[in-house]
Structures are given as structure tokens and as C-alpha cells.
């Protein structure tokens, strides 16, 4: 399979991604599989009715089994928990094989080598972590292992001390250098914080990186000195959503109905063929913000409140306790799309009282 990656103009990077994706496929092909009959839900052809029905039915399912593969030592506490049937599940639960880890480490190094780090650390990008966003992986079980949830108050350490555990954030592009609070596609902004840190990967898509709340106590102890890893999925980095001919034809018809020329349509497919971002040019051509950036050695720059109802309990409690040391931004969205940010100093009693009155006002309104 040949990948056609045009999101960036760096041929060496594109060639490197293709080589790594081929390495990844080889690793996956060499993982042992097993097959068993299972109850699955979906459509099947019923011989009696001679029609397709939707219900539970028996089906032979083939899946990967990694129990005998070489993995980090901490996985020995519960091999069954870490022996997930799909590579994405293994990444989420820190159950990857060492060969899988090695490929994705090389992907992270490749991005570091070719990315314009100066741009990604500039004030043209606002990095945001929305605390109201909940990863779907949190619904997965944790049988046979111990997972100690982080304390809510732990986050305050990040106001003054760089954090070793990498974090996933969104990034809003604003060439004038002004702070702008963004969010993941189709998600509200809720409340959270903006960050400063060292970017280690960036893309216009969800990178399916590790979910750190799923890290077991054993994994946290194993990675204590370096911090919990967070790596991009090589499959997501190499993904081309428009590679199917049927989708490309449909999009071509859609673009032509909107009056786009053949040259403009071809340029569109080149720009959208791959989701990795390496520099400012990629963001300008795409005209979109970044769905996921992985930041290392990060600190909180500002706290922000976009939804007072969602933020009420956390901010009321900790404002009164004097836990905030970084400025707090209140986000006001105008119908025009403009964003007004009002800054409050949580070290000033006058500002604390103003913020608490805004929470009171929201409570009465409801």
C-alpha cells in the first residue's frame, strides 16, 4: 500500500512516515492471533427468512493475542488486563508490545526532527486543555490491576512547576498573537486552562494517544522518573480519509457544485490528504485549528471559564481556599464569532469577589 501524504511539503518527513507505517504493519502481522465463536450484535443473513436481520448472532472472531510478546515489566502484574485484542486498546492501557512502542517512538522523533518548534512555541498558538472533555477510554474496565485516580487538587502544582507527564491539548491559531480559547471539533469549551510547554506532536485529528487516567499504579511507578508517555498513533498519523475512490468522487461533485475549479479541488485533496502539522504553512493552508497537540514539560499559563455552570463547584471551592496563582480568563463569545477575554487576578480579593458574584449571578439565572 502506498500512502500519498501531502499535508506538508517535507518529502523526507513523508517518506519517513511511510517507512514507519510499513514497519508498523509488519509488527501487527507478526502478532499471533486466535479465533473463537462469539455472540455479536449486528446485521446477518437469516436463511429462514431469506432476508437481513439485526440481532445477536454467532460469529467466528479473529483477534490478536500478545500475552507471549515482549512488553514493559510492569505488565506482568496482570497479563490478561494488558493483553488487549486491538492495537488501539493496548495503547490506551499502556499494554503495547516493545516493538509497537519502538515504532511509535520513532514517529515522535521524526516529528521533532522536521517540525518548526519555534512556531509551535510561539504566541501564535494558544494551547487549551478542557477539563470537561472526557475520554471514551475511561469507560473501559480495570480488572486485575490497581488504578488510583489523581486528586483534583494535584493540578494546582502545574501553576508553578513543569509537569513530566505529557498532556493532550487543542491549539487555536491566531497570527496576531492574542490568546484565543478553542476546543475540540464540535465540543464546548467548558472550563480548563491554557498552557506553555514543549510540543512533541501536532495534528488536525485526534491522535488516539494514551489515556493517562487508565495508567495503572504499576505503570506510574515504572515511568516515575521520565513521566507517563503519550505517543501519537502511527495509523492516525498516516491516515488519509479521502483515499477511497467513492469518497473522493463524492467530495469532487460537492466541491464542483460550490463552484470550485479542478485545480482548486486537486489542491484541496493534497492539503487534506494527511492530518499531521509541521509548521505555520500547514495551518494556513488547512485553515483549521489543531485537534490534538501533545505537550511535554508543561505549566498552566491561564485558567479560563467559558461555562460558569460547569465551572461553579471547582472555582468556588478553590477561589475561597486561595489555590489559584495564575490569572483567570472569563470567555465571552459574541454572535459575530469574536471572543472577549476578561482577566481576573485571583491574588486580589477584589477580583475574587467579582468572580464569585458572577457565579452567584449564573446560579440565580438558573
Residue 9 has pLDDT above 80, yes or no: no
Of 47 and 176, the one with more pLDDT: 176
Contact at 8 Å (CB) between 19 and 238? Answer: no
- 288's enclosing H/E stretch is none
Contact at 8 Å (CB) between 213 and 149? Answer: yes
pLDDT value, residue 152: 87
pLDDT value, residue 260: 75
- Mean pLDDT for 90-105 is 94
- 293's enclosing H/E stretch is strand 290-305
21-35, 244-258, 333-347: which range is least confident on average? 244-258
Chain center to CA of 147: 21
pLDDT value, residue 97: 96
Contact at 8 Å (CB) between 240 and 273? Answer: yes
pLDDT value, residue 274: 73
Burial class (CB in 10 A: 0-12, 13-18, 19+), 142: middle
Task: Give Cα separations from 147 to 133, 134, 159, 230, 293 (angstroms).
Answer: 20, 17, 25, 18, 25
pLDDT value, residue 5: 39
**DSSP letter at 286?**
H
Mean pLDDT of the chain: 86
Greatest Cα pair distance in the chain: 76
Q: Give the model confidence (pLDDT) of 117-164 as tens digits.
A: 999 999 999 999 999 876 655 556 667 799 998 888 899 999 999 999
CA angle 85, 88, 89 (to 5 degrees): 55
73-77, 86-90, 267-271: which range is least confident on average? 267-271
Mark out the alpha helices in the chain (DSSP H runs).
11-29, 79-82, 87-92, 98-114, 117-120, 217-222, 234-238, 245-257, 262-271, 280-286, 308-320, 349-365
Residues paired with residue 294 on neighbouring β-strands, in sequence order: 168, 201
Query: What pLDDT band is residue 267 in, cutting at 50, 70 and 90?
Result: low
**DSSP letter at 163?**
B
pTM of the complete model = 0.85
What lies within 8 Å, CB to CB, of 315 at 6+ separation is: 191, 305, 328, 355, 359
Q: Give the model confidence (pLDDT) of 304-317 as tens digits.
A: 999 899 999 999 99
- Mean pLDDT for 321-348 is 86
User: How many beta carbons lie within 10 A of that of residue 75, not counting itself?
Assistant: 26
Residue 107 has pLDDT above 90, yes or no: yes
pLDDT value, residue 214: 87
Across 101-131, b (16+ Cβ under 10 Å) vs e yields bebbebbbebbeebbeeebbeeebbbbbbbe
Amino acid at each position: 500500500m502506498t500512502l500519498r501524504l501531502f499535508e506538508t511539503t517535507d518529502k523526507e518527513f513523508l517518506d519517513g512516515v511511510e517507512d514507519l507505517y510499513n514497519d508498523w504493519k509488519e509488527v501487527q502481522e507478526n502478532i499471533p492471533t486466535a479465533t473463537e465463536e462469539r455472540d455479536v450484535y449486528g446485521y446477518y443473513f437469516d436463511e429462514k427468512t431469506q432476508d437481513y436481520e439485526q440481532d445477536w448472532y454467532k460469529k467466528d472472531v479473529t483477534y490478536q493475542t500478545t500475552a507471549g510478546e515482549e512488553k514493559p515489566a510492569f505488565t506482568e502484574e496482570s497479563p490478561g488486563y494488558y493483553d488487549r485484542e486491538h492495537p488501539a486498546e493496548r495503547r490506551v492501557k499502556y499494554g503495547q508490545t516493545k516493538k509497537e512502542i519502538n515504532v511509535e517512538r520513532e514517529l515522535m522523533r521524526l516529528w521533532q526532527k522536521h517540525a518548526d518548534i519555534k512556531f509551535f512555541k510561539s504566541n501564535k498558538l494558544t494551547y487549551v486543555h478542557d477539563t470537561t472533555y472526557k475520554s471514551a477510554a475511561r469507560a473501559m474496565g480495570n480488572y486485575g490491576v490497581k488504578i488510583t485516580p489523581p486528586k483534583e487538587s494535584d493540578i494546582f502544582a502545574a501553576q508553578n512547576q513543569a509537569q513530566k507527564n505529557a498532556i493532550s491539548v487543542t491549539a487555536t491559531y491566531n497570527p496576531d498573537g492574542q490568546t484565543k480559547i478553542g476546543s475540540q471539533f464540535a465540543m464546548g469549551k467548558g472550563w480548563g486552562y491554557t498552557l506553555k510547554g514543549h510540543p512533541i506532536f501536532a495534528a488536525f485529528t485526534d491522535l488516539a494517544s494514551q489515556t493517562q487516567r487508565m495508567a495503572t499504579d504499576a505503570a506510574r511507578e515504572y515511568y516515575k522518573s521520565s513521566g507517563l508517555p503519550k505517543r501519537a498513533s502511527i495509523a492516525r498519523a498516516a491516515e488519509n480519509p479521502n483515499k477511497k475512490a467513492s469518497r473522493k468522487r463524492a467530495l469532487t461533485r460537492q466541491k464542483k457544485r460550490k463552484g470550485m475549479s479542478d485545480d482548486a479541488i486537486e489542491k484541496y485533496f493534497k492539503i487534506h490528504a494527511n492530518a499531521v502539522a509541521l509548521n505555520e504553512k500547514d495551518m494556513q493552508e488547512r485553515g483549521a485549528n489543531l485537534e490534538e497537540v501533545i505537550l511535554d514539560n508543561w505549566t498552566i499559563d491561564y485558567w479560563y471559564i467559558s461555562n460558569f455552570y460547569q465551572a461553579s463547584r471547582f472555582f468556588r471551592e478553590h477561589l475561597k481556599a486561595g489555590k489559584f496563582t495564575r490569572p483567570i480568563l472569563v470567555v465571552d463569545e459574541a454572535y459575530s464569532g469574536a471572543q472577549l477575554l476578561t482577566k481576573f487576578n485571583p491574588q486580589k480579593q477584589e477580583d475574587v469577589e467579582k468572580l464569585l458574584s458572577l457565579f452567584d449571578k449564573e446560579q440565580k439565572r438558573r
